[in-house]
Every structure is written in C-alpha cells, then in structure tokens.
Structure 1
Amino acid sequence: MAVNEANATTLIGSWINMLFYMLEIILAFKYFQRPNRPLLHRIGVAIFIVADTACTVGICWQAYLVLLIFPCADLTRVFLNSLYWPISIVILSTYATASVEQAFLCALFYSLTKRRFITGFLVFTIFFHLGFSWASAALVLKQQNPGGKAFIATQIGAISCAATDFLIAVALSVTFYRLENRTVKGRTTQSILRRLAVLSLTSGCIVASITLLALVTLLKGKNVYIIFFNCQGRAYALTVLANFLLGLPAGVTGSGDNASTRNASSRRTPRNDATGVVFHVDYMTRSVSNIAHPESLNLEELSDNVKSDNIKSHPDPD
C-alpha cells in the first residue's frame, strides 16, 4: 500500500493521541487516589476521562477507516461512507474538554484576582466557540461532508477557541508573574527554569500553542492539522491535571481571620504543603532558616476558602 500524506498524518496523530491519553489516565488515577478532593473537581476530571475516551475511540475509528478500510482512497468518498461519524465525535468531545479546561482556568483566575468583568468576558468566549464548534459537528453529520457551512463553522470555532486559550494564558501568566515578584528572591537558575516550565503548563501556554498551531495548519489546508487536533483535547485535560498535581506560584493568601490563623499556625509548626495542586491558596512562610521556601502552592480548595477580594503576599516571620 502506498503511503500518502493523509495516511501518515492520521497514523502519527493517532499515536500521539494514545500517548497523551494514557498519560492523562495515569495522572487522573493519581488524582483520584488523593483523599478529600472537591466534588466539583472530581466531576470535572471524570468529564475529561469520558470525553477523551470517546474522542480516542473516534480517532482510532478514523485511523482504522483511513488506513485499513479505505487506504489511499478519495477522502470525499470516505466521508460519504462513514468517516463523518468519527470526525463529529472527535469535534464534540474535543471542544467539550476544551470548555471544561477553560472554565477551570477562568475559576482560578477569578479566585486569584476577583476581576469579574475580565472573567465574564472569558466565559462568554468559551460559550461562543463551543456553540460554533458543536454546530460544525452537527453540520458534518447532516451534510455527511466536512465542507461548506460545516467548514465555515469549524473555522469560526477554531479561531475563537484559539483566541480564548491565548487570552486565558496571558491573563494567568500576568497574574502568576505578579505573584512571583512577591516571593523570596535569590533562587538558582535551575529553580527559575523549573518554575517557568511549571507556569507555562499550568497557565495554559502550552495548550494555547498547540491550539494556535492547529488553527494555522487548518486555515492553510495542511494535513498536519490532524496531528495537532488529535492531541488537542488531551492537552486540555493534562493542563488541568497539572494544576491539580504540580503547583502554582507561592506568595498569595486569602486575608482575614482565616489567613491570620494559618500564619500563626505556620509559625508554631513549620510544615510543607506543596504536594497537590488544587484551587486553594495555602501559603506557608519560612519559619526558620533551614526550612526551604516552597516551590509550589496547594491551590485546589481556593474557590471554597478564599474569603477576601484582595490577594496579598504573606509576611515573613520576625
């Protein structure tokens, strides 16, 4: 069988998707092993697993049809037979995962900044791209062809989704940068590089880059678009799981009695809570010279515990 570009990109895209999917399953399993996780976040991770499982089935179905059933055939004829079904499943599940991931990051941004207007605008863009993306999937099923109105809706959905990813990544990156300036100076180069890598993942910069690459290749009509689009949904899920399992910048805390109680407790008993990444601000200060300043922050219960409208740095103990 002669191998053309469509065959190659479909095969490579399915391989990369499977790698990302298995990594997602492993990280989700590690997340569910942790006790007392917020119910809303466990539901979100479960949605990721269900949607990405459906998407992976659609991608494997697509690869099976293109590589084995209709090898080197005219893609139009393939679509008219049965390929439009897996394509629609992939579109629906990918943008469902994207919307949940973007909603989590918007919740994190609002918890850290309390900026309602910006958060509201970001939420609007989420519903905007989700509507057009799901409409494109419905049109593919109706027309049994990805062209025409379906392709126009796909382009609008892809452009607006990429714009949403970019805006959220910029908003969180700026927020994290400001929080970083409140932490202890004098870190090593290795520590700085590590934190930059973590922040680029947790702020959505990596998934935004993948989305932009998928958008550019889609608009140019390149078959390599399949590779980026096939792994796009898994990249969204991995971004949220990274926020839950890795860490975000230390140096913020909720104000008020709750923060004062934590401060007093941390002075009495030094501890390090930089193990799960959750939506919860729980900043621990350096109480003695031999206690290392934490490299990450436990953030998972932020939405339930942040009482104040202002985020401020925690003072070092005397």
Structure 2
Amino acid sequence: MNLSLYVLELLLGLYYFFHVPGKRSKILMAIPLCVDTVCSVCVCRIAWMALINPTTASSSSWKFYIIVSIMTALSAFIEQSYFSHRLWRITRSKIVATILSILVVVPLVCVLVTIALALVLGPEVDREKLNNLNIAVTFLLASVDLLIAVCLVYKLRLIDFPRYSRSTQSLIRTTMAYAIACGCVTTLTTALATIMSFVSVNGFLLFIDCTGRVYTLTILINFLLFNDWKGNDEPSMSFTTFTTTQDIPAYLH
C-alpha cells in the first residue's frame, strides 16, 4: 500500500513539475516529496529485512523505524502547516493562527520526545506510557485535520456569495468540498491508525507507514486542482483585485 501511494505521488509530482509554472510552488512541493522518499525507502528496507530474516528483523530495523516515525511526523507537520496557512490567509485571525500553530507543532514534538526517551532509557523505558503517547499523537493529528477542515468550511460559508460571479461561486463551493474531502481522508487515516493501535501492532504500523503519503498527496492534489481552477476560470475574474479578508481568492494565491 505504501509503494502504491508513493508511486501515485511520484507520477503526480512529475506532472506538476513539468506542466505547472511557478518555481516557488515547485520548491515547496519538493520538500514533502523528499521527506516521503526517505520514509518510503525506510519502509521498504524494513519490509525486506522482515522478509529475509523475520526473527531478527525487529532488532536490526529499529533505526529505520525511528526514521519512519520522524518522517511521518514531518509529513503531517508540513501538510497541517500548509492548510493552517491557507486558513490564516482567509481569516487573518492571530488567535486562530496561534492555536493551530500550537496544535500542529505538538504532535511533532511528542514524536521526537518519544524517540528520545526510547533511545536514552533503552530497556528501562515504560513502553506502556510510550504507546499511550503514540496513541495520543495519532488522535491529536486526526483532531487537528478535522478542526482545520471545519474552520475552512465555516469561514467559506460566511463569504458574501452574491458579490461574485457564478464561476467564482462555483469555485468557492468546490473549495469547500475539497476541504471536507481532505479533512475526512486524513482524519480517517489517522483515526484508523489509532483504532488499530488497540487491535493489532501490524495494523497500526500499516496505517502509520502510509499516513505520510496521504498527507503529501493532499498537498499535491491541492496544488494541481487549484492551478487547474485558476487556469480555467473566466478572464474577467482577477485574483489580485480582491483585497478584503473575506475574499476566497486569497486562499488560492
């Protein structure tokens, strides 16, 4: 599953790099792609070690598990930071931005703390507490994904629709649908990982290994869709003429 998502990610990424203009957006897109590449290589290495020598796979692959955990947390951090920034572009609310910034940073910090404790304490570490911390992190990730989606939809619903053309109104509605879809997909992935942590370790690892790919795909698809919407929009609609904080085009810049 991880490889399938990664191949899809690479294909969409190559299409984006060769067919969509804009150096800045390509640089921004290259960062999560590089993170996912490192993570996918480690996941494949873990799977290969488990295949050729199942008895010693866990002890010989612990370094790769650490890298996967860090890269997955980074993917979540990048995706949530990206959509939080989009939300701030619409609301211009410092309170919302501050709250979301804290919520986005906390899971990454928790993952790093968990890894540090495991490395420092070794066998003496309380594994039950670490497992509870991992569960709390996945639950928090799911909650933040859902919160960002809800805030985006709520803010977009407050926009004064009559002041815009039909094409712009359609774009706003499509944006709302996309925000809901992204929030649901990422929330569902992390929620399933949380549930599987109580049921099966292998099931938990399966979803965690794929979580980073899901996060990066949401950013990549967002870049592709909004570029397509901007390109197909009517010429009379200028994205640079909207200046108020309630204007949806600010979300598209």
Q: TM-score, normalised by structure 2?
A: 0.79
Name the structure 1 match of 2:48. 64
In structure 2, distance between residues paired with 1:150 and 1:245? 38
Are 1:173 and 2:153 counterparts? yes
Name the structure 1 match of 2:217. 238
Taking the TM superposition and a 5 Å limit, the aligned residue runs for 1:104-143 are: 104-142=82-120, 143=122
Deviation of 1:47 after TM superposition, in Å, equals 1.4
Partner secondary structure for residue 247 of structure 1: helix
User: Contact 1:114 / 1:309 at 8 angstroms: preserved in 2?
Assistant: yes
Name the structure 2 match of 1:225. 204
Question: CA 1:17–1:179 in 2, change beyond 3 Å: closer, same or farther?
Answer: farther
Are 1:147 and 2:131 counterparts? no
Name the structure 2 match of 1:311. 247
The alignment's C-alpha RMSD in Å is 3.7
Question: CA 1:54–1:239 in 2, change beyond 3 Å: closer, same or farther?
Answer: same
User: Contact 1:136 / 1:151 at 8 angstroms: preserved in 2?
Assistant: no
**Bigger-Rg structure (1/2):** 1
Are 1:90 and 2:68 counterparts? yes
User: CA deviation digits over 1:95-114, x for unaligned, max 9?
Assistant: 10110111110111111222
Partner secondary structure for residue 309 of structure 1: coil
Instruction: Give the aligned residue type for 2:6.
Output: Y
Q: Sequence identity of aligned pairs in percent?
A: 24
In structure 2, distance between residues paired with 1:101 and 1:117? 20
Name the structure 2 match of 1:252. none
Aligned pair count reads 244
Question: CA 1:132–1:28 in 2, change beyond 3 Å: closer, same or farther?
Answer: same
Larger fraction in helix: 2
Deviation of 1:206 after TM superposition, in Å, equals 1.1
Structure 1 segments unaligned to the other structure (5+ residues): 1-15, 249-271, 277-282, 288-293, 314-318
Taking the TM superposition and a 5 Å limit, the aligned residue runs for 1:42-53 are: 42-53=26-37
Question: CA 1:174–1:240 in 2, change beyond 3 Å: closer, same or farther?
Answer: same
Q: TM-score, normalised by structure 1?
A: 0.65
User: CA deviation digits over 1:246-290, x for unaligned, max 9?
Assistant: 139xxxxxxxxxxxxxxxxxxxxxxx96349xxxxxx747x7xxx
Taking the TM superposition and a 5 Å limit, the aligned residue runs for 1:187-226 are: 198-201=178-181, 203-221=182-200, 223-226=202-205
Name the structure 2 match of 1:159. 139
Structure 2 segments unaligned to the other structure (5+ residues): none
Taking the TM superposition and a 5 Å limit, the aligned residue runs for 1:254-293 are: 274-275=230-231, 284=234
Which has the higher relative contact order, 1 or 2, with Cα contacts under 8 A spaced 6 or more apart? 2
User: CA deviation digits over 1:55-87, x for unaligned, max 9?
Assistant: 1011111111222211xx4xxx643x2121121
In structure 1, distance between residues paired with 2:36 and 2:248? 38
